């Protein structure tokens, strides 16, 4: 049976960066893998960010949403059925930062998928900084996405990170919603990616998952939304200023993540990957030119007005 891993984490936790490192370890171990970008939007930037992993032993697939949870679930199931005889030893699922983990388990328990696939590891990313900024519904979404994890990976660790404080906060949020807390000694990987060893990745590859029980809270379909801007063009300084202003603006709604690829003129292009705590802009060469703004109760009209002269198509 093909092992299938789920990598979860709230918006901006660093799932794509982690997957790059994790996938390289799997390939070094001789695995033949496929990474499925299982997103809710019409365009998947993370898939572009993973292009350098493509090889004879690593494939990338994409599932998009945009027309309801049930339709998205059907696409997920259909994709796995179509891949059933492709010869992969392991499949990695990277969902959006707002994801109902029950979909993963429900689909894999269906026939014929339960005969072809075996749940491997559920690994959840915890952003060491933004964890302390979560409030209201975002705390619940965070809890629901990590509750089944066999291992929690603390991401974005710096010299100033107090991992014991991060772990205590995770368990505080778990307890708030009646979820089972995690053990400091065996459930966390708390170190910089640069310090990971092969043994660390092996522990993740074999960590499994746990059964979770908590009171489910319905999330409105429009509460967390992505806005897409095609063919954006602006200078690097302008991009950084607009991004910073969006995070600070109350009129924009609560912007949680800005990511994508932007034409900065003179044949140059940059990749932006931003949260409220950090804006990273790097020079790249990409075939894709699109910017995605993700947040809670976004004011689309307000943001479209900012972006209308910066791109060919504003979010519909």
Answer whether residue 285 shows pLDDT above 60. yes
Answer whether residue 314 shows pLDDT above 90. no
pLDDT of residue 149: 97
Mean pLDDT within 189-218: 92
pLDDT of residue 236: 95
Task: Quickly count helices (H) and strands (E) in the chain.
Answer: 10, 12
pLDDT of residue 288: 80
List, for residues 297-306, the tens digit of each pLDDT value. 899 999 999 9
Burial class (CB in 10 A: 0-12, 13-18, 19+), 312: exposed
Relative orientation angle of helices 137-146 and 163-176, to the nearest 10 degrees: 100
List, for residues 129-162, the tens digit of each pLDDT value. 889 989 888 999 999 999 999 999 999 998 889 9
pTM over the 0.75 mark = yes
Q: Which of 47-56, 126-135, 237-246, 255-264 ranks highest by mean pLDDT?
A: 237-246
Average pLDDT, the chain: 90
Indicate the CATH number of 2-205 among 3.40.50.300, 3.30.1490.20, 3.30.420.40, 3.20.20.140: 3.40.50.300
Model confidence at 254, pLDDT cuts 50, 70, 90, reads: very high
User: Which residues, 6 or more positions from 42, have their beta carbon under 8 angstroms from its beta carbon?
Assistant: 64, 66, 228
Model confidence at 66, pLDDT cuts 50, 70, 90, reads: low
Model confidence at 226, pLDDT cuts 50, 70, 90, reads: confident
**More confident: 222 or 33:** 33
Domain 224-307 is found in CATH 3.30.360.10: no
pLDDT of residue 40: 54
Domain spans in the chain, listed from the N-terminal domain onward: 2-205, 224-307
Model confidence at 67, pLDDT cuts 50, 70, 90, reads: low
Closest CA to 40 of 70, 82, 80, 4: 70
pLDDT of residue 88: 96
218 φ, ψ (degrees, to nearest 5)? -65, 140
pLDDT of residue 39: 65
């Amino acid at each position: 049976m093909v092992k299938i891993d789920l990598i979860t984490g709230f918006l901006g936790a660093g799932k794509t960066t982690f997957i790059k490192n994790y996938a390289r370890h799997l390939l070094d171990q001789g695995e033949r893998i496929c990474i499925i970008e299982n997103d809710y939007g019409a365009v998947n930037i993370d898939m572009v960010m993973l292009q350098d992993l493509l090889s004879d032993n690593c494939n990338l697939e994409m599932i998009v949403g945009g027309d309801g949870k049930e339709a998205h679930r059907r696409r997920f199931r259909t994709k796995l059925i179509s891949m059933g005889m492709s010869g992969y030893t392991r499949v990695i699922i990277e969902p959006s930062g707002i994801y109902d983990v029950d979909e993963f388990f429900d689909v894999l328990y269906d026939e014929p998928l339960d005969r072809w696939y075996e749940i491997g590891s559920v690994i959840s990313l915890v952003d060491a900084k933004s964890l302390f900024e979560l409030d209201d519904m975002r705390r619940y979404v965070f809890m629901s996405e990590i509750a089944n994890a066999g291992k929690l990976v603390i991401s974005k660790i710096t010299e100033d990170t107090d991992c014991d404080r991060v772990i205590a906060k995770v368990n505080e949020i778990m307890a708030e919603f009646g979820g089972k807390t995690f053990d400091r000694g065996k459930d966390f990987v708390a170190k910089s990616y640069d310090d990971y060893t092969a043994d660390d990745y092996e522990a993740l590859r074999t960590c499994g998952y746990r059964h979770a029980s908590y009171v489910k809270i319905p999330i409105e379909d429009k509460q967390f939304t992505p806005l897409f801007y095609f063919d954006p063009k602006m200078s690097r300084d302008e991009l950084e200023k607009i991004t910073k202003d969006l995070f600070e603006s109350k009129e924009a709604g609560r912007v949680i993540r800005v990511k994508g690829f932007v034409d900065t003129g003179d044949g140059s292009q940059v990749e932006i990957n931003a949260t409220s705590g950090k804006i990273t802009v790097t020079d790249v060469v990409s075939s894709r030119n699109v910017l995605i703004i993700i947040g809670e109760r976004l004011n689309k009209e307000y943001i479209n007005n900012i972006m209308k002269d910066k791109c060919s198509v504003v979010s519909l």
